[in-house]
Amino acid sequence: MAKDKKQPRPKAETPKGFRDYFGAEVTERNEMLATIAEVYQAHGFDPLETSAVETVEALGKFLPDVDRPNAGVFAWQEEDDGKWLALRYDMTAPLARVAAQFRNDLPSPYRRYTMGPVWRNEKPGPGRFRQFYQCDADTVGAPSVAADAEICGMLADTLEAVGIPRGDYIVRVNNRKVLNGVMEVAGVLDPTDPEKFEEERGTVLRAIDKFDKFGEEGVRLLMGPGRLDGSGDFTKGAGLSDAQCDTVMGFMAAKRDTGAETCARLRELVAGSALGAEGVEELELIASLLEAQGYGPDRIVIDPSVVRGLGYYTGPVFEAELTFEILDEKGRKRSFGSVAGGGRYDDLVKRFTGQAVPATGVSIGVDRLLAALRAKGRLHGKLPGPVVVTVMDRDRMGDYLAMASELRAAGIRAEVYLGNPKNFGNQLKYADKRESPVAVIQGGDEAERGVVQLKDLILGAKIAQEASLEEWKSQPAQVEVARADLVAEVRALLARYED
Amino acid sequence: MAKDKKQPRPKAETPKGFRDYFGAEVTERNEMLATIAEVYQAHGFDPLETSAVETVEALGKFLPDVDRPNAGVFAWQEEDDGKWLALRYDMTAPLARVAAQFRNDLPSPYRRYTMGPVWRNEKPGPGRFRQFYQCDADTVGAPSVAADAEICGMLADTLEAVGIPRGDYIVRVNNRKVLNGVMEVAGVLDPTDPEKFEEERGTVLRAIDKFDKFGEEGVRLLMGPGRLDGSGDFTKGAGLSDAQCDTVMGFMAAKRDTGAETCARLRELVAGSALGAEGVEELELIASLLEAQGYGPDRIVIDPSVVRGLGYYTGPVFEAELTFEILDEKGRKRSFGSVAGGGRYDDLVKRFTGQAVPATGVSIGVDRLLAALRAKGRLHGKLPGPVVVTVMDRDRMGDYLAMASELRAAGIRAEVYLGNPKNFGNQLKYADKRESPVAVIQGGDEAERGVVQLKDLILGAKIAQEASLEEWKSQPAQVEVARADLVAEVRALLARYED
C-alpha cells in the first residue's frame, strides 16, 4: 500500500538491556514464585502489589545508599502538573511509601511479600538487564529481632521449598551494630557525634564488602592508604592506621565453630562499646530463637564477614549463599554464591512520616535462584509439547478440531496444525519444532475406515538418532488405531514417556 | 536528625491514576490468571513475557486506530543515543515486534499467550486507571479462519474454567468483511480504490459501535447529517443518505434465530459484493467448525451487531459478553456486559517486515472478569487469616516461634505477634484485624503446667454479635489444651469452619 512507503519500517528489536521470556522461562519462574509465595503466606505474610510507577519524590532519588547514589531510574514528567514519575527500582522504597500512606489501615506489625519486575536505568552488560524480577518479604513495625530471626528461618524454608536441599545452602547472619561497635573501638565512630567519620565508615563498609574480591591485603589498602588497581586506577582509602585495620580485620575473622563461640569472640572485640554489646546480644538472641525452632548451624550461622553493601541497614543483616559448586564461564569450579539477602532498616518509613518505624526484610534474586535450580537439574527449561493433529484434508478441519478438543477434554495438551496444510512435510517439521510427542494423522481413506494414524515422534526421533535399520523395523513409530479409541491410545503412548 | 530538616518530607501517595493491590486482590487475580493460562496452554498456546519497555518506534505511536490516534504512552528519551522508549500500552504491539524479531526461530503458526500490566498515559477517572492487566492469546501466521474459530471456542472454555457458568455468557462473532461488503453495497466502499471514502467508513464504524449508547436514531444521525448531543456539542456525520443508512442498519439487525439463517440474511444484504460474500462464507465456516466441536448457539453465536471499535481488524471479530444482571451504581438492573474481545488483524507484523502476516487474537479484560466473578460470589476477597500465637512473656519468644513453626509444618498458616507485647488487648485487636480464626495463648503458669489456651476468634466474634449471655456461658470460646496437642487441637477447631 502507498502509505507504507511514507516512513521507513520500524526496527523489530527490544530496547537495549531488555529481553523477552519465552515458554518455560515464563512458567518455571511463575512456578518458583508461586512456591515462594506459599511459604511466605504460611508465615503470615500478605501479598502486596504496588504499581510499577511511583513519584520520584516518593522513591527518594537519593536513598542513603552511598554505594550508588547516582543509581538511575527511568523517569518522565507529567504533562499537566510537571510532577516527575519513575519506574520503581526496588521493592523497598514502594513498601516504605505504602507503610506510610496506609499506616492507619494496615495491621501493625505489617508482614507483606511482593514479587515483580523492577527497573534500573543503568548501562546494560552481559547477563545484566535493565528490567528484572525481585521477590521480597518484609515486616514493618516489629522492633524485636524475633522479626529478623523469623525472616532468616523463612528464607531457609523457602530455599528448601523451591528445591535447594539442606546442605546446599547456608544463611549467614551478622549485625551492623556489632560492626559499628568495632568501628567505635577502632576510633572511627563517636557515639556522641554519630555523623563524625561517616565518610570513613562508608569507605570501610565498602572495603570489607569486597573481601571476596580483593582478599585481606586489598581490603587493608582500601581501609588504609588507598588501593591502586591493575589498570592504574586509584581508589582513595579511609586513612585508618594499621592498628585500626587490625581491629576491623579481627571482626571479619571472628567466626568460630559455634554461634556461641563466635558471639563470645565478638563480645571481646567490642569491649567498651555499648552499641557493640547490644549488637552481640541481638545476635545471641537471634541464634537462640532460631535454635528453638530447630534451625541448626547446618542451615543458619552467625558469620561476622557478612556486611551487605547497602548503607541503610541499621541492625541484623543476612545473606543466603548456595554452597554447591558450579563451573564458571572459564570452566573453573566455584561455589554458586549469594541468592538472597536483607536486613533491618529502621529509617525508611521515617522519610515520609517523621516517625521511626522499625522494619526488616529479605529480597530474593529471582534470576539467580532460577539459574541455581537449573544448575541443580531441578528445571528442564521445556514446556510439554502438544499433541499435533495434522491436516490431510482441509475440508475436514472440523473433524481435526474435534479430535484436539477431545484430547484436551482428557487433559492432554493438543492443537491442530493451522498453517498451510499443502506440504505434509512442513506439518511434521512444525510438530518437531513444537517438541510434540505425538502427531495424529487422518486422511480421507482413514476417515472412511474410521481410524487414525498415531505417529510416535519421541520414538521416531530416537530411532532416527540411534537405531539400526533392524530395530526401526521392529519398533514401528506409527500405529493405526480406531478413531473411537483416539484419546485412550494417545494416553497410552504418552504414558510410555512419563518420568 | 539534622539531615531530615534540610528538605520537606516526600508525600506518601501513589501517582494519580495508579493504585496498589492488597492481599486477596493479588491472590485472586493470580489464581484466575493461572486458570486462564492452563486453558490457553492446553490449546497449544505458549507463554511469552515481553519487557514492559519498548522503543516508541516499535510500538508504533500511530497504529491504525482512528478512534484514538493520540492515545498517550509514558515515554522518555535514552541519555546516550536519544532514542525514545515507552511503556507498552497493549500486548498486541509487542507481539507484532516479537513475531518480526524472532520470525526465524518461532514455530509458524505461532500461538502465544501473555498476561501482565499495560500502561496508558490518559486522564484517570473513577475506576479508570493508568496501569491495568491484560491477558491475551493470539495466533500469528495462520491464515485460515479455523484459527479464529479456535480462539472463540477457547474463550468460551476459559470463561467456564474461571467460574462463569454456561448460560451466563455468550461469545458473539461477526466479520469485518461482511460489514465492508455492506459498505460497498451502500456505496461507501469502492473495491477498485480502497482508500476512497476511508473517512466516511471510519465514521460509520464508530457510529454503529455506539448503538448500545445512542440507539438506532443516534447512530443514524452519526452516519448521516451529524449529531448534536445534550451538552450542545456537535459530532460531524458521515453524510450518508437515508437509503445508505437503511442498508447499514439492515446489517445491524440481521441477526436471526440460528447461525444459518443469520448468514442467509447477510448473504442477501451483501449481494453484489465479492468481499461481502467472502465474509459470509468465513462466518459460515466458523459456525460449522464450532459446531463440530460442540460449541452450540448457547455459547457462541453469529451476531452482526458486533463491530469492535479498533480500526486494525480485517476479518472475523468477536466479543464475550456476560449476560447475567447486576445492579449499577444507581441501583438499576443491567446486564454485566463485555469482558473480552478480539479479532483478526493481518497488517500489524507487516509494519516491521513488509510482508503481510495473518494474525488473530483475543484480549480478556482482567479487572472486568474479576469484578464479574465477585458479582457472582465466586471470589470472597479474603485471605485465610493466620493463627496468631500471642506473646505473654517476651523472654519466651523462642517457645512462641516454635509453636508457629509446628502449626506451619502441619499446613496451618500461623504467625507470632511481633509488636510490643505489653498490652495484651492490642494483641487480640491485631488478631481481629488479621481475621485470625484462632489465637494461641500461653502465660508462665500455662507453660509450667504444659498447656496452652486456644481462643476461638470466629466463635468469639459470633457470640459478641449475636448471642445472649446464657449462650456465651454454654459455648466457651476459649479452651485449654495440652501443649503437646497444640497442632491437633487447632486443626480440630479450624475444621469446624471449613466450607
B230 is a domain residue: yes
Q: How far is CA B119 from CA B81, B132, B349, in A?
A: 24, 7, 21
Are B278 and B137 within one domain? yes
CB contact under 8 A, B101 and A13: yes
For residue range A254-290, list pLDDT tens digits in order. Answer: 999 888 899 999 999 999 999 999 999 999 999 999 9
Q: Answer for the pair B174, B309: CB distance below 8 angstroms, yes or no.
A: no
Are A86 and A159 within one domain? yes
Are B354 and B406 within one domain? no
B4 is a domain residue: no
Are A339 and A410 within one domain? no
Quick check: B6 pLDDT over 70? no
Q: Answer for the pair B318, B290: CB distance below 8 angstroms, yes or no.
A: no
Number of domains chain B contains? 2
Quick check: B318 pLDDT over 60? yes
Of A178-182, B59-63, B294-298, give the lowest mean pLDDT range: B59-63
Within B46-135, where are the H helices? Answer: 56-59, 92-101
Of A178-182, A289-293, B40-44, B58-62, give the lowest mean pLDDT range: B58-62
CB contact under 8 A, A354 and B4: yes
A237 is a domain residue: no
- Enumerate residues 6+ apart whose C-beta is below 8 A from B295: B152, B153, B156
Q: How confident is the model at residue A311 (pLDDT cuts 50, 70, 90)?
A: low
Q: Answer for the pair A52, A94: CB distance below 8 angstroms, yes or no.
A: no
| Facing residue for A47 by CB, picked from B27, B107, B139 | B27
Q: Tell me the nearest-neighbour CA distance from A309 into chain B, angstroms.
A: 22
Are A72 and A170 within one domain? yes
Q: Tell me the nearest-neighbour CA distance from B216 into chain A, angstroms.
A: 35
B9 is a domain residue: no
Buried b vs exposed e over B127-161: b needs ≥16 C-beta within 10 Å?
eebbbbbbbbbbbbbbbbbbbbbbbbbbbbbbbeb
CA A46 vs. chain centroid, Å, equals 19
Once rounded to an integer, what is the mean pLDDT over residues B28-41?
96
Q: How far is CA A368 from CA A338, A365, A374, B167, B263, in A?
A: 8, 5, 10, 47, 56
Are B357 and B334 within one domain? yes
**B98 at the A interface (CB within 8 A)?**
yes
**A265 at the B interface (CB within 8 A)?**
no
CB contact under 8 A, A44 and B414: yes
Looking at residue B153, which CATH number applies to its domain? 3.30.930.10
Of A33-37, A413-417, B204-208, give the lowest mean pLDDT range: B204-208
Quick check: B473 pLDDT over 70? no
- Enumerate residues 6+ apart whose C-beta is below 8 A from A96: A348, A349, A351, A352, A359
CB contact under 8 A, A153 and B405: yes
| Chain A residue whose CA is closest to B354 | A9
Q: Which residue has the higher pLDDT, B46 or B496?
A: B46
**A212 at the B interface (CB within 8 A)?**
no
Are B484 and B343 within one domain? no
- Enumerate residues 6+ apart whose C-beta is below 8 A from B376: B163, B164, B168, B324
**A51 at the B interface (CB within 8 A)?**
yes
Are A253 and A325 within one domain? yes
Q: How confident is the model at residue B63 (pLDDT cuts 50, 70, 90)?
A: very low
**B18 at the A interface (CB within 8 A)?**
yes
Domain's final residue, options B375, B396, B416: B375
Q: How confident is the model at residue B472 (pLDDT cuts 50, 70, 90)?
A: low
CA geometry: angle at B193 spanning B192 and B199, to 5°?
145
Of B174-178, B205-209, B426-430, give the lowest mean pLDDT range: B205-209
A216 is a domain residue: no
The pLDDT of residue B65: 43
Q: How confident is the model at residue B4 (pLDDT cuts 50, 70, 90)?
A: very low
| Chain B residue whose CA is closest to A407 | B42
A33 is a domain residue: yes
ipTM, two decimals: 0.90
Q: Answer for the pair B109, A111: CB distance below 8 angstroms, yes or no.
A: no
- Enumerate residues 6+ apart whose C-beta is below 8 A from A70: none
What grid cell was written down for B308? Answer: 469492535
Q: How confident is the model at residue A344 (pLDDT cuts 50, 70, 90)?
A: very high
Beta strand ranges found along A203-248 (DSSP E): 226-228, 234-236
> Helix, strand, coil % (nearest 5) of chain B?
40, 20, 40
What grid cell was written down for B414? Answer: 500461623
B11 is a domain residue: no
What grid cell was written down for B31? Answer: 489464581
Are A282 and A358 within one domain? yes
- Could you identify the residue written with the cell 594499621? A242
For residue range A166-216, list pLDDT tens digits in order. Answer: 999 999 999 999 999 999 998 888 888 888 888 888 888 888 888 888 888
**A430 at the B interface (CB within 8 A)?**
yes
- Enumerate residues 6+ apart whose C-beta is below 8 A from B493: B437, B438, B454, B456
The pLDDT of residue A460: 77
| Facing residue for A146 by CB, picked from B50, B144, B401 | B401
Nearest-angstrom CA–CA distance, A144 and B397: 10
- Could you identify the residue written with the cell 477447631? B493
B180 is a domain residue: yes
Mean pLDDT across chain A: 90
For residue range A140-167, list pLDDT tens digits in order. Answer: 999 999 999 999 999 999 999 999 999 9
The pLDDT of residue A71: 54
Query: Which DSSP helix (H) or strand (E) runs through A281?
Result: helix A274-292
Domain's final residue, options A375, A398, A423: A375
The pLDDT of residue B227: 92
Are B53 and B195 within one domain? yes
What grid cell was written down for B88? Answer: 507498552
Domain's final residue, options B352, B375, B398: B375
CB contact under 8 A, B354 and A288: no
The pLDDT of residue A2: 41
CA geometry: angle at A318 spanning A314 and A321, to 5°?
155
Nearest Cα neighbor of B212 from B329, B318, B306 is B306
Other Cβ atoms closer than 10 A to A498: 5
The pLDDT of residue A335: 85
Strand partners, B173: B302, B318
Q: How confident is the model at residue B477 (pLDDT cuts 50, 70, 90)?
A: confident
Mean pLDDT across chain B: 90
Are A434 and A296 within one domain? no
Q: Tell me the nearest-neighbour CA distance from A55 into chain B, angstroms.
A: 6
Quick check: A293 pLDDT over 60? yes
**Residue A158 belongs to domain spanning:** 24-199+243-375
Q: How confident is the model at residue B298 (pLDDT cuts 50, 70, 90)?
A: very high
Looking at residue A409, which CATH number applies to its domain? 3.40.50.800
How many percent of chain B have pLDDT more than 90?
Answer: 65
Are A318 and A340 within one domain? yes
Nearest-angstrom CA–CA distance, A54 and B463: 44
Nearest-angstrom CA–CA distance, B390 and B446: 13
